[in-house]
Amino acid sequence: MDNTFILKLILTPALIGAASLAGRRWGHAVSGWIVALPLTSGPVVFFIALTHGPDFALSTSLGILSGGFSLAIFSLSYAWVARRQKWPLTIFISTALFLASTFVLKSFVIPLGPLFLLVVLAFVLTLRLLPRHMEGALVPETIPTWDLPVRMIMTTVFVLLLTELAPLVGARLAGLLSTLPIMTATLTAFAHHQQGHASATEVLRGLVMGLFSFAGFYLVLPLLLPVGIAIAFTAAILTAFILQGISLWLIQRERPA
């Protein structure tokens, strides 16, 4: 069996499992903050770099960063639709808007510098436009036993499929699709179903706060990929962790006393 395939089977579920367990421990906003890290798209572009080379991975990275716009649209639409609708219709509408945005973005290529600034601006505006803090955003007391395995399996299958299909759909579309919010949708839908739209909004607020580290990761990665895969991913991961630490501090500050 291919060593890269084995690495996918081990690394992807391990990352998702660790993030999910940490989110359960510290609450909805923190769970959203954790999945903002490139836990799905990061392994996708890493395996693409190993399999198809740095140039293909660089184009994929730019597509992933462009997908930040779609993530912002998903977050805003879910938070506002959830105030009036139950989770099945809410997730259908927000996912449809995500895919529509992805279809439009496929035709636009923006240089890295302006793209990064525009994506960061989109995240700032999303934070300002999300519904404000509401009562009832509590951590659920009971979580189905099948929840964690399903999350790990879904995400691993997605990474395997996308890395295999990347040459067929092209680097840019593969990057855009890798931001499909599978984990975010799962966390948000569970919070919405179990405790209402207030908790779902807290997941999304934590997500958007954490997406600044996502943007930092995909600013550094394409800049350094021509130097080497190991150097590029090491620097990008360090950047993401630094920005993630800052955003966690801000989340803690926003929590009511």
Span 182-205, pLDDT tens digits: 777 777 887 888 778 888 898 899
Average the pLDDT over 206-215 and give the result: 92
Inter-residue contact 43 to 11 (CB < 8 Å): yes
Q: What is the pLDDT of residue 247?
A: 84
Inter-residue contact 189 to 74 (CB < 8 Å): no
For the entire predicted model, the pTM comes to 0.81
Average the pLDDT over 136-149 and give the result: 59
Q: Which residues fall within 8 angstroms of residue 160, CB to CB, at 6 or more apart?
A: 5, 8, 9
Q: What is the pLDDT of residue 143?
A: 60
Domain edges within the chain: 3-254
Span 68-127, pLDDT tens digits: 999 999 999 999 999 999 989 999 999 999 999 999 998 888 999 999 999 999 999 999
